Every structure is written in structure tokens, then in C-alpha cells.
Amino acid sequence: MKITHYLILAGIVPANAALLADFDGNGSFTDQAFKSAPIGSVVEGGPTGSYYNLLNNTGDAGNHLAFPATGTAGWQTATLSMDIRADNISADGFGVGFVDVATHGNDLVRSGAGGRRGEEERAAYANSVGVGFRTFNGTNATVNYDGVESGDVGYTLPAGEWVSVEVSMTRSGDGANISASIGGESVFTDFALAGAPDDFRIQIAGRTGGAAMDLDIDNVNLVTSQIPEPSGALLAGLGLLALGARRKR
């Protein structure tokens, strides 16, 4: 048995699961509209109850949802999942931000905060990771850290259907490898980012311009794993386990 297996058995990689919001009264969020279109709203009748209508097929929207920090400092893996439904798909898309708490605090900030590109569908925030799902002139996705963006990758967004979105990150030195899927279709796999925030919170934003679309969101969840400092007793126990494994070879 490898020493990494002992670490897992010893509980050094615990998972922390947080329901950010199901829009049925569980979880909490703040929302804000930064353009002329009305702010989003909770609507009854989602796949498991109520859902949040982020974009309402109205032009000139810049709507945001922010979820409070869940204590992610020291994270090693992080996975955000949610359900979305898009219809009348035209412009401009939506973005998911892993927003750096040290830079931006725990209050909702507008896309582009810190002098980065301000389009909501690009999810660019200073010292933060973002995944953008654009819907104008086709469907193309990007990832970025601190506003430095990848090239476009095409994806499929079925109209009028609830589909899952998943974004996961794994620590890699000072950066992270990020993967994303939508409706079970892989969009990015282990894309290497030069940096990643140590303590982050989630923001979701959508934008329309002269053209528009509908976008609904439900069941937003975040799962992280962290590696705490092992105690002296635990280190001693791991040493004995490793010694025993060597003697059995």
C-alpha cells in the first residue's frame, strides 16, 4: 500500500461540502443588477423546487449572484456544480468566478473588479479564477486567472433543457489545473493556470446587450478538500504504518 493511501485512510484529506443555494430557502446569496435590465429573481417550478432567473430575455442586462465565503483557505481540490437552463439563446452568456477574498472581500463585486475585462460572461476578476461561457456568435468557453485568458473552446448548450455545469480545480504549485463540463460534455480538462486564490468565494454573472437570452440557475454546490497540519501523534502513526509496509515487502 502506498503512503498516499495511508494519508487518505488517516483522514488528512477531508471533504467540505457546502450547499450555496437551492433557492428553496436553503443557502444564502446576494444579487445585484449593474445595467438597465431588472435584477434577477427566484421563480417557482425548477427541477427540485424554485430556481433563480438570472437573465430574462431582456437586453442590456448585467446581473450578478454572489455567495458568501465558505472557508476555503488551504484548499487542495474544489468542485462547483449547478443546474442551468438557457433558452432564446442569443447574447451574451454567463461566467463563474472563484473570487479572491483577500483582494475583493466578502461583498458582491462587479465583473472586471480590479481593472480586468468587465464582460460578465468572461468572469475576469483580479487575482481570481474565472470560467466564461459565451453565447454570442456561437457558444465558446474560456478560462482565466487574473484576467489572463485561454483561447476559445466550443461547447454545446441545448435550448430549454436543464443541464448540469461542473467546474473543478486541483492545486498545482502556486496555480491550479482546471476542468469544466456542461451537460456532461467536457469543455476543459486539466487546463493549467499560473495562479489561483487561496481563499475564494463564488460569483455567477450573466450579460445581454442588444440581443438577449433566458438563463435560469438552480442547486449551486461547492465541495472542497483541504490538507490540515497533521498532529505529532498522527505523524508517528503514519511512520509506523510505513515501516510496517516496508517489512512486508
pLDDT at site 2: 42
**Structure confidence by residue, pLDDT tens digits, 86-97:** 999 999 999 999
**Structure confidence by residue, pLDDT tens digits, 101-154:** 999 999 999 999 999 999 999 999 999 999 999 999 999 999 999 999 999 999
Q: Mean of the pLDDT values across residues 177-199?
A: 98
Cross-strand partners of 131:
96, 143
Distances (CA, A) of 220 to 100, 101, 139, 188, 223: 19, 19, 22, 20, 10
The pTM score is: 0.87
Q: Is 171 left (phi over 0), alpha (psi -120 to 50) or beta?
A: beta
**Structure confidence by residue, pLDDT tens digits, 3-57:** 344 444 444 456 899 999 999 999 999 999 999 999 999 999 877 899 999 999 9
Q: Mean of the pLDDT values across residues 210-238?
A: 79
Question: What residues does each domain of the chain span?
Answer: 14-229
In this structure, which topology does domain 14-229 adopt according to CATH?
Jelly Rolls (2.60.120)
Query: Grid coordinates representing 26?
Result: 436553503
- The answer to whether 215 and 86 have CB atoms below 8 angstroms apart is yes
